[in-house]
Chains A and B, each alone.
Chain A
């Protein structure tokens, strides 16, 4: 048997799909929050050797890449938690063989370990974590009328100045006759009469036209 040489494996990985230009709520309010521009430092990667309590922390670089170094042969578990992003993986299992070959599996809490999705963790075949969404920590208060309207299907209409102008104009056109009837019945009455007059005239014209056409057809 060949004497084994003390060695250690390295796992390469990166976080993908990181959204750019995230506008934070506190920035809009000019509040200083330390480290708010440093999203990589707020991604926590804890590597536990199975059976050992103290994890080693893996730093994430500015380009969202990370390397787990000095992995001796054994089984490891990595807990992944990002303060700002929801990620597609919460936990990975890392198995390092005696010959320093590495296999990294998704190790979901509910679905369990997915052996078929293993990667080797080399720089050619890295562990890729993906950002699903940016976490929102704040809730707008309920009961505010504005919020209610803005969250309704009409929200997009009111967000646009032109659209809301058109909406209000058409709404008032729709409601004008009803309102007139209530507030100025006289005016409404006269308008109605005038309209009926016009309608009647048009009807007569149409009938006359039809009669003419019928005559022509007879000829």
Chain B
């Protein structure tokens, strides 16, 4: 009694244990396809992609410092702009009127500015302020978290530079303002220059037509003025010319590639990107003396693994001095311009993939042999022959052990029983046309294969990996060996248990097995139908209803318990029909759940919700064991995330169908005799859900949900139990029946302990994601992976706590040592005890 009381105190659904967090899990992030890169401090780089703004730590340990979702989620052109002291990061997009300001050190949003139009031009303005021209022509100064309108004419373009403590602002090349750092205008005058002002330094002004220098103007092809404005540079296709203030050519260099000019404090550099390398010209001394001989040259050679054709090049100033950044898919190399040496090399996936599967690793040869031997042990007919076989096997094992001990010097022992915890997560990458398998334990690539066309689907076919593209199919073993590659035309493919069913026109086919006898359920927007081999057998559809989701049992859904034992020693039999198919339809009035028998199309159960307006895109459904769980978001009259559980039973009360009843295959009613259902509310939006499976189905099941804030939450099935009592007090009988019975509470309380990804929020913004679960060889645990383009999180879930796994604290050596010490003590003490006993017998007890 006491023991049961004590046991009941132990919660079954274990939390993330301190010792397992960050250790027994895998978390991979991608940085996205960055479209700009700049340095912020010694080891921090900031970049923006269409989905996020990231800060990377590019020092020796490559990692992501912070990553915030881009405020312009739908924009492909998210730009970043750093303040002069690198502390503030401005993020803007030509598609929005807003400018967001972040702290560059930690990614905290500090301000948000609203302009009259989208930002067109951003310029540095005095002490770390920013000058912005928006598309409506208004010029703004961003200062102390406010956007202040400058009282200047509306403009199409701005040119601004500092001179002698004040600012020179040219508006549309026709008006010049002298501004102080508070935005006060002290002078404004009309200017008459030809062309559009591009640049200005001191007494030098450059338009796209002329270069003005003090009183002179030169009509030269000039792209940039240098230093204080006394020299200028003109970049042509294959030559770059330097001019002095009189417009005279002082130097000519031959350039081959894209040429750009970089400024860093008082230094200036000209960089010529030439494909495999870049030539850097240090112009710092030339600006001062105008001597061509003072230009220093350096060559930067890019490593061979950089795909120079597709790489982006950028130059930026940093605290190390000016640097060149070369980045391509997930690889960023940084070179110091002064010396041409590489200072940082950062590598991280730029994007993962959209389609993922999880497969078992191939069993090792030793494990296969052992299994084979064990089978032989058990199947031999004669007792004696079995014994001989067993002895032979043990002797061989001993021999192998001794040899391995001698060879490896004590390392290695018997073949470890394969735990099955290390699965392979296989994904296709449509950017690089490749198939990659990684370990779910440490993320190490197991194999990688590049195919010659863009893959569009990945499936499991009899334990092998099947990759499809438009009209080709590749099959790989779990070890990455290509075993089949064929042309195959199909319209769509779908995973069914461990097979892939292809559809072409009205024909269905299991690849590589045209004679298989099978039933299949397919659907379109308005109908669901059953197929036997190749012919339609039944169809189901309701006028005005749209089919939203169709789901059946997944493979590997072993169930060890056939029913729920009740308090009166009865058994409430579960309805375990493997052919149950859940169909969710939606219409204007609401949504409905239909449970059908997939073989004969019989309608087993119906449930309709007409009271609420439902977001049809949010509907998710799983079928497992004897239950169906579906989730949907209600958007009116109140916003609520619902989770509905339907449990199906073979009888209403806790007893079997009448034992004496003769059951005939022809008269047997396959429909469930009883069902119970409950609806729950989860306080967060649910994006996906899946049910855990274990090898034998003994372990309690949990439902893993993916929430909008990036959490993977494990909800034990006993919480999502439709038999929880809601109309009366809980009785002793109820507690003796269902496991973990509690009174019904409509709102599921959020429990931070059951967040499987604990402190690491996942990026869940994409719709193309996968939540996959695979049982391990231990009954208590299964491996789960959540994966999308941006991140992968894999871990181990143990819904009933681990009962067949040793904890990390288990010390085998200490245990063996203790046993040995006790044994020695026993052997050592034995003669003393014997002596004492003998002495006792000889002592005269009467004395």
Residues of A in contact with B (beta carbons under 8 Å apart): 24-26, 29, 31-38, 40-42, 44, 46, 48, 50-53, 57, 59-62, 77, 79, 81, 83, 86, 90-91, 107, 109-110, 135-142, 144
Can you give 12 contacting A-B residue pairs, CB < 8 Å?
A25-B18, A38-B108, A41-B68, A42-B761, A53-B633, A79-B684, A79-B685, A81-B709, A83-B709, A138-B17, A139-B14, A141-B809
Give Cα A26 to B640, complex, Å: 34
Most central of B57, B68, B100, B809 by chain A CB within 10 Å: B68
Assess whether A24 is in contact with B681, with CB atoms less than 8 Å apart.
no
Instruction: Choose one: B14, B618, B684; the contact of A53 (CB below 8 Å).
Output: B618
- Asked if B66 and A34 sit within 8 Å, CB to CB, the answer is yes
Name the residue on A nearest B14 (C-beta).
A139
Across the interface, do B67 and A142 meet the contact criterion of CB distance under 8 Å?
A: no
Select from chain A the residue with minimum beta-carbon distance to B748. Answer: A109
Q: How far is the CA of A144 from the CA of B810 in the complex (A)?
A: 11
Q: Does B380 contact A (CB under 8 A)?
A: no
Docked complex: B40-79 residues within 8 A CB-CB of A: 57, 61, 63-69, 71
Tell yes or no: B736 within 8 A of A by CB. Answer: no
Check A38 against B68 for contact (C-beta < 8 Å). Answer: yes
Partner among B10, B61, B71, B759 whose Cβ is within 8 Å of the Cβ of A25 = B759
| Other-chain residue from A34, A62, A90 in contact with B110 (beta carbon distance below 8 A) | A62
Chain B window 749-778, contacts with chain A (Cβ cutoff 8 Å), 1 for yes, 0 for no: 000110100111100000000000000000
Q: Are A138 and B16 in contact (CB under 8 A)?
A: yes
Asked, given contacts A34-B66, A137-B753, whether A59 binds B71 with beta carbons under 8 Å apart, the answer is yes
Contact B21 A138, beta carbon cutoff 8 Å: yes
Residue of B nearest to A138 (CB): B18
**Could you tell me if B684 and A81 are in contact, using CB atoms closer than 8 angstroms?**
yes
Cβ-defined contact, A38 with B618, below 8 A:
no
**Is the pair A50, B683 in contact by a Cβ cutoff of 8 Å?**
no
Q: Bound complex: CA of A171 vs CA of B77, how far in Å?
A: 72
Name A81's contact: one of B64, B110, B683 (CB within 8 Å).
Answer: B683
Judge if B637 is at the interface, Cβ distance under 8 Å: yes
Which B residues are CB-close (under 8 A) to A86? 752
Closest to A41 in B: B68
Q: Which 5 A/B pairs are nearest by Cβ-Cβ distance?
A: A53-B615, A139-B15, A77-B639, A137-B758, A62-B108
- Decide: A61 and B111 in contact? CB cutoff 8 A: yes
Chain B: CB-nearest residue to A54: B615
Bound complex: CA A138 to CA B760 (Å): 12
**Contact across chains for B759 and A38 when beta carbons are under 8 A apart:** no
Please determine whether B107 and A35 come into contact, CB atoms closer than 8 angstroms: yes
Closest to A142 in B: B10
User: In angstroms, how far is the closest chain A Cβ from the Cβ of B610?
Assistant: 16
Q: Is B367 an interface residue (CB 8 A)?
A: no
Complex: chain B residue closest to A137, CB-CB: B758
A71–B709 Cα distance when bound, in Å, is: 23
| Partner pick for B16 among A41, A50, A137, CB 8 A cutoff | A137
> With the chains together, A7 CA to B101 CA distance in Å?
26
What is the chain A residue whose CB lies nearest that of B636? A51
Q: Would you call B639 and A137 a contact (CB within 8 A)?
A: no
Given contacts A41-B68, A79-B684, is CB(A50)–CB(B635) below 8 Å?
Answer: yes
Could you tell me if A52 and B109 are in contact, using CB atoms closer than 8 angstroms? no
Q: Is B453 an interface residue (CB 8 A)?
A: no
Given A109-B640, A138-B758, A142-B10, output 11 extra A-B contacts at Cβ < 8 Å: A24-B759, A26-B21, A34-B29, A44-B709, A50-B638, A53-B633, A59-B109, A61-B111, A110-B746, A137-B16, A138-B21
- Give min CB distance, B591 to chain A, whole Å: 13
Known A-B contacts A33-B759, A90-B683; the reply to A61 vs B109 at CB < 8 A is yes
Q: Which of these, B16, B106, B684, contacts A38 with CB under 8 Å?
A: B106
Minimum CB distance partner of B616 in chain A: A53
Docked pose: A13 CA to B61 CA in angstroms:
39
Task: Count residues on chain B whose CB falls below 8 Å from chain A CBs.
Answer: 60
- Is B578 engaged at the interface, CB distance under 8 Å to the other chain? no
Chain A residues within an 8 Å CB radius of B452: none
* Residues 419 to 455 of chain B near chain A (Cβ within 8 Å): none
CA of A38 to CA of B108 in the docked complex: distance in angstroms? Answer: 6
Q: How far is the CA of A46 from the CA of B640 in the complex (A)?
A: 12
Given contacts A37-B106, A61-B111, A137-B758, contact A50 B637 (CB under 8 A): yes
Contact of A139 among B17, B22, B618, B807 (CB under 8 A): B17
Known: A41-B109, A137-B752. A79 touches B683 (CB 8 A): yes
B26 within 8 A of A: no
Which residues on the B side are within 8 Å of A77 (C-beta)?
A: 638-639
Contacts of B361 in A (CB 8 A): none
Least Cβ–Cβ distance between B623 and chain A, in angstroms: 25
- Asked whether B576 is an interface residue with its Cβ less than 8 Å from the other chain, the reply is no
Contact B711 A83, beta carbon cutoff 8 Å:
yes
Query: B635–A48 contact, CB under 8 A?
Result: yes
Compute how far the CA of A148 lies from the CA of B238 in the bound complex, rounded to whole angstroms.
Answer: 78
Tell me the smallest distance from the CB of B454 to a CB of chain A, in Å: 30
Contact assessment for B108 and A40 in the assembled complex, using a CB-CB cutoff below 8 Å: yes
Known A34-B65, A59-B71, A79-B639: A139·B753 in contact at CB below 8 Å: yes
Q: Tell whether, in the assembled complex, residue B29 and residue A141 are in contact, meaning their CB atoms are under 8 Å apart.
A: no
**Contact A34-B67, Cβ < 8 Å, known A61-B111, A137-B16, A137-B758:** yes
Quick check: is B708 within 8 A (CB to CB) of the other chain?
yes
CB distance from A111 to the nearest CB of B (A): 10
B22 touches A26 (CB 8 A): yes
Q: Is residue B523 within 8 Å, beta carbon to beta carbon, of the partner chain?
A: no
Q: Which B residues between 615 and 638 are near A, CB-CB below 8 angstroms? A: 615, 617-618, 633, 635-638
CA distance A178 to B316 in the complex (A): 79
A50: B residues at CB distance < 8 A: 635-639
> What per-residue 1/0 map shows which CB atoms of B729-758 lie under 8 Å from chain A?
000000000000000001100001101001
Q: Cβ of B103 and Cβ of A51 under 8 Å apart?
A: no
Q: In this assembly, does B386 line the interface, its C-beta being within 8 Å of a C-beta of chain A?
A: no
Whether A25 and B684, one on each chain, are in contact in the complex, defined by CB atoms closer than 8 angstroms, is: no
Smallest Cβ-Cβ distance to B100: which chain A residue: A59
Q: Which residues from A are CB-within-8-Å of B639?
A: 48, 50, 77, 79, 91
Q: B19: CB under 8 A from chain A?
A: yes
Decide yes or no whether B710 CB sits under 8 A from chain A.
yes
Q: Which of B61, B69, B759 has the most CB of A within 10 A?
A: B759
B85-137 interface with A by 8 A CB criterion = 100, 103, 106-112
Instruction: Tell me, in angstroms, the Cα distance from A47 to B334 when the chains sit together.
Output: 42
Residues on the A chain within 8 Å of B109, using CB? 40-41, 59-62
Look across to chain A and name the residue whose beta carbon is closest to the beta carbon of B67: A34
Residues on A with C-beta less than 8 A from B71 are 59
Docked complex Cα distance between A35 and B29 (Å): 13
Residues of B within 8 A of A138 (CB): 15-18, 21, 758
Q: Is B33 an interface residue (CB 8 A)?
A: no
Q: Tell me which residues across on chain A come within 8 A of B175, comparing CB atoms.
A: none
Q: A46-B708, A53-B633 are in contact. Are A141 and B103 (CB under 8 A)?
A: no
Task: Give chain A residues whose Cβ lies under 8 Å from the Cβ of B710.
Answer: 83
Min distance, Cβ A77 to any Cβ of chain B, angstroms: 4
> Are A139 and B16 interface neighbours, CB within 8 A?
yes
Interchain CB contact under 8 A, A110 and B747: yes
Please name the residue on chain A nearest to B753 by beta carbon.
Answer: A139
Segment 694-720 of B: residues with Cβ below 8 Å from A = 707-711
In the assembled complex, the CB of A88 is this many whole angstroms from the nearest CB of chain B, namely: 13
Asked if A140 contacts B17 (CB within 8 A), the reply is yes
Q: Are A41 and B63 in contact (CB under 8 A)?
A: no
Asked whether any CB of chain A lies closer than 8 Å to the CB of B613, the reply is yes
Residues from chain B with a CB closer than 8 A to the CB of A107 are: 638
Assembly CA distance A102 to B448 (angstroms): 57
Check B761 against A109 for contact (C-beta < 8 Å).
no
Residues of B within 8 A of A35 (CB): 66-68, 107, 761
